[in-house]
């Protein structure tokens, strides 16, 4: 399956485009997708800890704009949004 990850906020630094695309196995979870993105950061950005922290602490949302948990099963080609936390003072 193909998943297009739409990047928002600080996660936009993960790509020159406003998205990432990954091929994943059927019935992968958000937890699996999170690991795949962290592996991508390890390869593309030499394990940049700031980028990894963004991925680890971000929320994910489904195509219908609902926040989904790490257990959410991806069962078809779809878009998933990654929404990093917003820092304040």
**What is the pTM (predicted TM-score) of this model?**
0.92
Instruction: Give pLDDT tens digits for 21-65.
Output: 999 999 899 999 999 999 999 999 999 999 999 999 999 999 999
Say which CATH superfamily domain 2-83 falls into: Beta-grasp domain (3.10.20.30)
Give the sign of the dihedral formed by CA 40, CA 43, CA 47, CA 48. Answer: negative
Predicted pLDDT of residue 89 = 43
The yes-or-no verdict on residue 68 having pLDDT over 60 is yes
CA pseudo-torsion sign 23, 49, 19, 84: positive
Contact present, 4 and 19 (Cβ < 8 Å): yes
Distance (Å, whole) CA 29 – CA 36? 11
Structural domain spans, the chain: 2-83
Tell me how far apart the alpha carbons of residues 69 and 86 are, in angstroms, rounded to a whole number: 18
């Amino acid at each position: 399956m193909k998943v297009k990850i739409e990047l928002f906020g600080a996660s936009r630094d993960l790509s020159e485009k406003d998205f990432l695309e990954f091929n994943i196995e059927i019935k992968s979870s958000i937890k699996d997708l999170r690991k795949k993105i962290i592996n991508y950061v390890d390869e593309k950005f030499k394990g940049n800890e700031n980028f990894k922290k963004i991925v680890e602490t971000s929320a994910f949302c489904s195509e219908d704009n609902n926040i989904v948990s790490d257990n959410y099963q991806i069962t078809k080609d779809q878009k998933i949004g990654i929404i990093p936390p917003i820092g304040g003072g």
